[in-house]
Amino acid sequence: MKITRFEDIEAWQEARKLVNMIYDAINGSEKFQRDYRLVNQIQGAAVSSMSNIAEGFSRRSNNEFIQFLFISKSSVAEVQSQLYVALDQNYISKETFEQIFNQAETVSKLDSGFIKYLQSQPNKLNKLNKHKSPNKLNKPKQLKQPK
């Protein structure tokens, strides 16, 4: 599957699910809702993960995209750490913790897979581009969905 917009990226789709799971967990617990600092932190980290995938996709180079995917991955780790706080404070059940934590892990693994895929591309492209005219070098290429 070719990726023509950020919504096509599986990591972004899964990050969106993560954001919704975070919002549902907060909305399902009055105690959680009252912990404004934690709510802002965990929502911000989840949204950051999703947003950085989209922003990285809009950049002009694989290296920049990779940088944003690493930020997304870091934001997911932040969500996972904050989930422990929510669990320890009895804002969420162990079951909810595990579901959201596992979803975060899915996003992290997809980010990692996409990073590896993009890192494998520059050498191939550089070898191919050495023999092309400068005008052909600047044409954007469609990305393929990593497996």
Q: Could you read off the pLDDT of 64-103 as tens digits, one per residue?
A: 999 999 999 999 999 999 999 999 999 999 999 999 999 9
Q: Give the pLDDT band of residue 142 (cuts 50, 70, 90).
A: low
Q: How many domains does the chain have?
A: 1
Rounded to two decimals, the pTM is 0.82
Show the domain range for 97. Answer: 2-144
Spatial separation of the C-alpha atoms in residues 89 and 44, rounded to whole Å: 19
Close Cβ partners of 125 (under 8 Å, ≥ 6 residues apart)? 141
CATH code of residue 57: 1.20.1440.60
Angle subtended by helix axes 94-129 and 10-27, to nearest 10? 160
Secondary structure class of 145 (helix, strand, coil):
coil
Sign for the CA dihedral angle at 50, 126, 131, 134 comes to positive
